[in-house]
Amino acid sequence: MRPANGVSPGAANILPFPGNRPPPQVGFDRFELARILDLYGRMVAAGEWRDYAMDFTKSCATFAAFRRTAEVPQMRLEKRPELRNRQGMWTLFGEQGQVLKRGHELANVLAPLERKLVKAVEG
């Protein structure tokens, strides 16, 4: 016989199987994403970028910005928390994949792009 609420008495004791959990993934927190998208919006307004992509894996979170959709990214920003205590968890890559800047603080790693934005607006 079912109780009035329609839930069988044993249903409240069901526990998830430990092996069914998805692997944890790295992501951007709200402050980081706001900072990145603010820069992206200003670069779009300056005519430098037109598209972006984000990728989240077990070991890193990536934001890539494109001048055109079908091209390679003009810049790629990676967050790798396992490098937090070494060279810093933030890495900025250029168009050919070269490391432009590494660091512990997002603002410092985005500084070369901020300078490029100033030049794009002035020129």
Tokens of 86: 């070494």
User: By the 8 A CB rule, do 36 and 79 touch?
Assistant: no
Q: Where does the pLDDT of residue 7 fall: very low under 50, low under 70, confident under 90, or very high at 90 and above?
A: low
Residue 34 has pLDDT above 90, yes or no: yes
User: By the 8 A CB rule, do 44 and 50 touch?
Assistant: yes
Who contacts 2 (Cβ-Cβ below 8 Å, separation ≥6)?
8
Task: Please state the pTM of the whole predicted model.
Answer: 0.76
| Average of per-residue pLDDT values in the chain | 84
- What are the pLDDT digits (tens) for 71-120? 789 999 999 999 888 888 999 999 888 999 999 999 999 999 988 777 66
Tokens of 37: 């998208």
Show me where the domains of the chain are located. 30-122
Residue 35 has pLDDT above 90, yes or no: yes
For residues 49 and 119, which has the higher predicted lDDT (pLDDT)? 49
For 51, other C-beta atoms within 10 Å of its C-beta total: 16
